[in-house]
């Protein structure tokens, strides 16, 4: 298959180098989030970037047992599997409807800023085509999303509030103006703005979500394995299942051989 | 990494050979179950073996939406993923508590028959050590498991009822005698006996379950993707979730930086 | 989360019904491929449909150790995992570039036939936009794909050669005419034509590939687990890996704390 | 299915609480590794524990493209799948032979220390039964493992070098004494000793490895998706594959129907 090419990690002698730095020098000197930044971006973060990264990853660390990812992770674990298998099942659930908004919002903001177009035109294009703008709107929060406020406050305190954050908030205001109704910049949108500010490619968007949420999935699978009985995650046929198919019927007589 | 070795499939020129047979000769001439037998066993099945194999695979094709595998498959699909990703999540759920009994029962029967020990001694060993005997016992069926009866009737009709099936039913009777209470040979046990009769290694036990159930998982994931809304598989925090952890508490003041 | 709805399988008393038929009646009376047809389509196949289905599933049962799915399955197994985990990893590999052509070709043919447009217009649309037509072209086969010939011969013998198969071969001829060069209808295209003829939705396209190939993956993972050493699937850093990244560099002195 | 129980995360009103702490208070105030500690242990780490945790997670962040996990992740991505699917495949590879030593070594050390037995007896028990002692021995390092030295130096600097670390190094010396040959405490063993010192249950062992390595897997899958062609990860039938099975043979004539 020819050579497998990579620019991430190199082994020289018995030493491991991550993006050119000796791994053992990183151990003890970088925080975990700083090492995450290095391996994804290829360069060491500054102090501001480090603190922004810590905040971003912490903000998605868990969202309880209710989302599809926790359901899948715990159902798989309850089938009698190891920790790694349950965690992987949880990560599989992070499709376009579960963490995908972060990626879409990064794409929207990076392309929006790069295009040089006015926010007014961009918003009216989406609204007239009735396309949802990724990163905006929330089921409960109608005035502002407190998680967005928190991340934006931190971004400002770290002097990290640049053109992508400004664009993100300008879009929020423009939606309210054109639509006559507020669609708040939600937490996916806020992380998207900040990650874009840090110069990350939108194709990595789901990566932040995965890295940040994996500790939550580990905690859920560990909890399932240590506190629940095997096979605990199954539905109750009487209470949880509605059968919507055909009623019982007979097999045609010519098919019955035995 | 050196060569990747395999004895399953060979490409010669532009032809594919499965266990030595030209794939194109198999297409149209073997049933799917016969090809399954060939690829797993290395040889073509006889007519009796073919019919037994068809019956075994059909017997596990689906068990509804309630088991952990269907939950995981549909939860992952509901996160906005492709068919293959949902199906894979379902297969991940087939751990030691979900399909594992089939494998364990095959091991028990193959070792039991090979050991030459009496059924009386084997059963008393398990019962005195209070170890469950894999393939026996059922939540609802206390007299007999109708699926077992069906498979055993077919095995008899196909003259496929040999020493492993006899061993399996002798163990059922011996348990009743020693325990004073019947533990029926369940469907996992019945498949295990039949698969052992066909000469399959117990390490392949879960393989029959996986191959037989995959069509059910495909049907479930397809149904989820075409009839349900994205993110439909999430719990209701009010009705479905019980929080058993610590109540809200304050972060120590020295930790608050921002 | 409300009820989990399904139209596939129902439990009544202690009996299981698949698409309305008692599971135990199917065992022994349907072949496995017939049961696959039933669970996917909702109805029993005719004799012709049964034989076509057997042929389709057999045609994809394995393609050796070289494709990404076999690599992933065996690498995961070599990490020290159970049969189900390796098989699931293989299925994960069936993305848009691996089995996806079957799905795309089904969509192309079903929309093409339904549109009522002429084949001439359809082909010229694709060629002028330089879009690849899914299901056509092959690295080695320049005159015809022998697997396509085989499936089409069977389709004809079973009187299963209708408007989708005709459309598929008309497109092949039209490409040759407009392009001045043949792009053969490949095996993905042939299965797509036949599955469309049987009335299956293109969204199920990858499902046939998954169901048909799972026995091959089971054989590969079983082979890995029983004939190779744990961790056998790793690259040789000297021979297999090309590092394309930055050379070793020093950590800035202000970062060194320890 | 009754309630899904969890003690990890609670939603109250529109606020999320992790182990009792308001998530928004954690964002900006905890480092990511501190939040990992909190969600796994249930309590906030001290300064020493935080720094040890950062070091542990950084120490496993990547090990290049050679291990089965990177192979599986990149093979799956090359099949045309999303970032999350490739990363999940990588995590699946973390079975008993890939990261499992960490878990086994934690169990060995925690049980060893708790047993009160002498190190002499423990080691001789293993050696006389010819059982490998998990966490000891290395292909290249015969005198000491530099990664172990690094982690142990940090553990000492943070006053984190207690009974588990002492036990781990006493076992290393005792092996050398009884065996007449050194088996170095390797990096799995070193992390195991330190994680045990921090009071983590050995059943969580693989969790540290998963959390620490996920950023590396994200980097690999992103690299595959952005720098390599689809389907790049396949073997070369000529150069990479050795076929060890049966040579071509003819199908028996009675099977040929078509």
List, for residues B237-246, the tens digit of each pLDDT value. 999 999 999 9
Distance to chain C for D214, nearest Cα, Å: 16
- C-beta of residue D58 within 8 angstroms of C-beta of residue A59: no
Distance to chain C for D191, nearest Cα, Å: 18
Q: Classify residue D34: in a domain, yes or no.
A: no
The residue count of chain D comes to 258
Residue D217 has pLDDT above 90, yes or no: yes
Cβ contacts of C153 on chain D, cutoff 8 Å = 258
Of C65, C203, C212, the CB nearest to B226: C203
- C-beta of residue A9 within 8 angstroms of C-beta of residue D63: yes
Whole-number pLDDT of residue C14: 84
- C-beta of residue B68 within 8 angstroms of C-beta of residue A55: no
Inter-chain residue contact B246 with D29, CB threshold 8 Å: no
Residue B1 has pLDDT above 70, yes or no: no
Residues of chain A scoring pLDDT < 50: none
Of A69, A154, A234, the CB nearest to B79: A69
What integer is the mean pLDDT of B15-41?
97
Residue B174 has pLDDT above 80, yes or no: yes
Inter-chain residue contact D29 with B237, CB threshold 8 Å: no
Q: Classify residue C192: in a domain, yes or no.
A: yes
CB distance from A251 to chain C under 8 Å? yes
Chain C residue with CA closest to B36: the answer is: C215
The pair of structure tokens assigned to B122 is 């084997």
CATH number at residue C125: 1.10.230.10
Within 8 A by CB and 6+ apart from D156, the residues are none
Chain C residue with CA closest to D3: the answer is: C1
Within 8 A by CB and 6+ apart from C190, the residues are C135, C145, C147, C148, C151, C152, C168
CB distance from C64 to chain A under 8 Å? no
Residues 208-247, chain B, touching D (beta carbon < 8 A): 235, 237, 240-247
CB distance from D256 to chain B under 8 Å? yes
- C-beta of residue D88 within 8 angstroms of C-beta of residue A84: no
> What is the C-alpha separation between A77 and B96, in angstroms, rounded?
10
Within 8 A by CB and 6+ apart from D48, the residues are D158, D159, D160
Q: How many percent of chain C have pLDDT more than 90? A: 93
Residue with tokens 């008899």: B156
Please tell me which chains touch A, using 3 or more CB pairs under 8 Å as the contact test. B, C, D
Q: Classify residue A237: in a domain, yes or no.
A: no
Whole-number pLDDT of residue D256: 78
Cβ contacts of B67 on chain A, cutoff 8 Å = 234
Q: How many pairs of residues across B and C have Cβ atoms under 8 Å apart?
A: 261
Element (H, E) at B106: helix B100-115
Residue B90's closest CA among B78, B103, B101? Answer: B78
CB distance from A42 to chain C under 8 Å? yes
Chain B residue with CA closest to D255: the answer is: B29
Residue C112 has pLDDT above 90, yes or no: yes
Within 8 A by CB and 6+ apart from D31, the residues are A31, A32, A33, A54, A58, D50, D54
Dihedral pair phi/psi, residue B77, rounded to 5° = -60, -40
Whole-number pLDDT of residue A1: 60
Whole-number pLDDT of residue C1: 61
Inter-chain residue contact C243 with A30, CB threshold 8 Å: no
Of D79, D97, D235, the CB nearest to C94: D79
Distance to chain D for A113, nearest Cα, Å: 22
Inter-chain residue contact B39 with C216, CB threshold 8 Å: yes
Inter-chain residue contact B35 with C57, CB threshold 8 Å: yes
Quote the ipTM score: 0.97
Inter-chain residue contact C242 with A4, CB threshold 8 Å: yes
Residue B257 has pLDDT above 90, yes or no: no
Side-chain-side CA neighbours of residue C179 (13 Å) = 21
Of A7, A22, A85, the CB nearest to C244: A7
Q: Classify residue D84: in a domain, yes or no.
A: yes
Inter-chain residue contact C241 with A4, CB threshold 8 Å: yes
Chain A residue with CA closest to B157: the answer is: A258
Q: Could you report the per-residue pLDDT of D163-190, keeping only the tens digit for each?
A: 999 999 999 999 999 999 999 999 999 9
Inter-chain residue contact A220 with D55, CB threshold 8 Å: no
- C-beta of residue A241 within 8 angstroms of C-beta of residue C6: yes
Side-chain-side CA neighbours of residue A158 (13 Å) = 25
CB distance from A21 to chain D under 8 Å? no
Of A28, A240, A256, the CB nearest to C4: A240
Whole-number pLDDT of residue C254: 87
Within 8 A by CB and 6+ apart from B240, the residues are A66, C1, D3, D4
Q: How many percent of chain D have pLDDT more than 70? A: 100
- C-beta of residue B191 within 8 angstroms of C-beta of residue B154: no
What integer is the mean pLDDT of D214-243?
96
Cβ contacts of C8 on chain A, cutoff 8 Å = 245
Whole-number pLDDT of residue C2: 76
Inter-chain residue contact D95 with C76, CB threshold 8 Å: yes
CB distance from C59 to chain B under 8 Å? yes
Q: Is B178 exposed, middle or buried (0-12, 13-18, 19+ CB in 10 A)?
A: middle
Whole-number pLDDT of residue D254: 87
pLDDT interval class at D13 (50, 70, 90)? confident
Chain D residue with CA closest to B27: the answer is: D258
Q: Which domain holds residue A111?
A: 46-232
Residue B2 has pLDDT above 80, yes or no: no
Chain D residue with CA closest to C237: the answer is: D66
Q: What is the mean pLDDT of chain D?
A: 95
> What is the C-alpha separation between C192 and C7, in angstroms, rounded?
26
> What is the C-alpha separation between A180 and A137, in angstroms, rounded?
14
- Number of domains forming the structure of chain B: 1
Cβ contacts of A80 on chain B, cutoff 8 Å = 95-98, 100
What integer is the mean pLDDT of B228-253?
95
Cβ contacts of D234 on chain A, cutoff 8 Å = 1
Within 8 A by CB and 6+ apart from A160, the residues are A48, A52, A154, A194, A197, A198
CB distance from A80 to chain B under 8 Å? yes
């Amino acid at each position: 298959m020819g050579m497998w090419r990579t620019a991430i990690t190199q082994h020289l002698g018995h030493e491991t180098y991550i993006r050119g730095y000796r791994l053992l020098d990183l151990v003890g000197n970088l925080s975990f989030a700083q090492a995450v930044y290095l391996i994804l971006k290829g360069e060491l973060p500054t102090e501001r970037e480090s603190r922004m990264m810590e905040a971003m990853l912490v903000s998605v660390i868990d969202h309880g047992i209710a989302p599809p990812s926790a359901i899948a992770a715990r159902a798989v674990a309850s089938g009698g599997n190891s920790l790694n298998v349950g965690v992987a099942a949880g990560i599989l659930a992070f499709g376009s409807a579960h963490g995908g908004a972060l990626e879409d919002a990064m794409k929207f903001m990076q392309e929006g800023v790069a295009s040089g177009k006015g926010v007014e035109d961009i918003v009216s294009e989406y609204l007239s085509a009735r396309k949802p703008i990724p990163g905006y709107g929330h089921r409960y929060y109608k005035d502002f999303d407190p998680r967005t406020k928190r991340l934006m406050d931190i971004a400002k305190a770290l002097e990290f509030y640049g053109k992508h954050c400004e664009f993100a908030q300008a879009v929020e205001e423009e939606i309210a103006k054109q639509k006559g109704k507020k669609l708040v910049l939600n937490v996916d949108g806020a992380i998207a703005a900040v990650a874009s500010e840090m110069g990350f490619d939108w194709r990595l968007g789901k990566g932040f979500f995965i890295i940040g949420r994996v500790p939550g999935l580990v905690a859920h699978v560990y909890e399932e394995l240590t506190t629940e009985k095997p096979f605990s995650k199954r539905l109750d046929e009487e209470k949880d299942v509605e059968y919507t198919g055909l009623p019982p019927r007979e097999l045609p007589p010519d098919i019955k051989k035995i």
